């Protein structure tokens, strides 16, 4: 039987009912016959809600999403790769924590696919409520487009340490039951505020409405870049992958990720170099050559510009 607790998202109640289990303190433990892990949700008020999911199911399931309200214009924030390795159920490939931020036009499906492997935090907030928290008109076209919520927009933001610290505080839930909803709502709103401040720094002058085809195409390009960090991206080749013109590809890539294709590539290339130096314990020369550098001095200069120290010192500091 579904709980009457109004602080629990309906979609979580539906999932519990589908799996034949009970919610305890808003938390659903996945029954062993269906998989493993948990899902916990919070409806803070009529304007903002949050769902924390870290589970594996034996197969995908589909449920109606009763939380969809077409009268409201919800903005969603989907945090991914933010669980610690100890808490994440599957052994995932080296990935970077990030957050997807989108308008309700991207997120209006009334069907939710409950995927077999999910490790995310989803926060949804009403655009009108969020706009009311600002005291001055927004000059940023990115913020304006997001808060007006009239067109389908999607942005991805890499998580930096202070944002990750906020997420870790949400996951650790240090507050007792009397303060939990208050504490988590404040933390969720702080996360959103910090993210909006990051988006405000983007220098896009004009936004272009997105469709599902464009979004999938840009993420195919992203995947292509990340799977071949040893090879500098060639725009004409990536445009063929995306089935769009080079001009459109560069424009939409920058709009979503806030960076040019080459700069984005170089950032992840250096993060991979840092991972190989510390986690894999490879030598500086081995890392440089693996990532496509023929000149190790050039590799050291690029690495220092992104990471803050040369690769040799970085490797030594990591081994202490």
User: What is the percent of the chain where pLDDT is above 90?
Assistant: 66
Say if residue 109's pLDDT is above 60: no
Q: What is the pLDDT of residue 64?
A: 65
What's the CA gap between 315 and 302, in Å, rounded?
Answer: 15
pTM metric for this prediction: 0.88
Please name each of the domains of the chain with its CATH number. Answer: 10-200 (no CATH), 212-318 (1.10.10.60)
Give residue 133's pLDDT. 87
Better pLDDT: 82 or 218: 218
């Amino acid at each position: 039987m579904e709980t009457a607790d109004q602080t629990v998202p309906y979609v979580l109640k539906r999932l519990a009912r589908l799996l034949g289990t009970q919610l305890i303190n808003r938390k659903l433990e996945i029954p062993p016959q269906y998989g493993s892990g948990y899902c916990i949700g919070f409806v803070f008020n009529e304007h903002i809600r949050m769902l924390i999911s870290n589970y594996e199911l034996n197969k995908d399931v589909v449920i109606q999403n009763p939380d969809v309200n077409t009268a409201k214009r919800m903005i969603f924030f989907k945090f991914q790769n933010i669980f610690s390795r100890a808490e994440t159920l599957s052994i995932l490939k080296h990935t970077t924590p990030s957050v997807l931020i989108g308008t309700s036009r991207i997120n209006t499906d009334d069907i939710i696919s409950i995927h077999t492997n999910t490790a995310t935090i989803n926060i949804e907030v009403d655009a009108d409520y969020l706009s009311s928290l600002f005291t001055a008109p927004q000059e940023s076209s990115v913020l304006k487009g997001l808060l007006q919520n009239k067109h389908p927009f999607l942005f991805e933001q890499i998580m930096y340490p202070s944002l990750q610290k906020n997420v870790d505080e949400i996951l650790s839930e240090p507050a007792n039951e009397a303060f939990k909803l208050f504490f988590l709502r404040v933390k969720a709103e702080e996360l959103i505020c910090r993210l909006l401040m990051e988006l405000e720094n983007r220098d896009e002058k004009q936004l272009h409405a997105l469709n599902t085809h464009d979004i999938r195409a840009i993420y195919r390009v992203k995947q292509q870049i990340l799977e071949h960090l040893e090879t500098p991206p060639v725009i004409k080749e990536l445009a063929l992958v995306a089935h769009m013109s080079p001009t459109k590809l560069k424009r939409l890539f920058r709009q979503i990720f806030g960076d040019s294709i080459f700069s984005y590539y170089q950032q992840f290339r250096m993060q991979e170099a840092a991972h190989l130096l510390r986690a894999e314990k490879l030598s500086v020369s081995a890392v440089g050559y693996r990532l496509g550098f023929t000149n190790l001095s050039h590799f050291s200069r690029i690495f220092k510009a992104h990471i803050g120290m040369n690769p040799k010192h970085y490797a030594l500091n990591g081994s202490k």
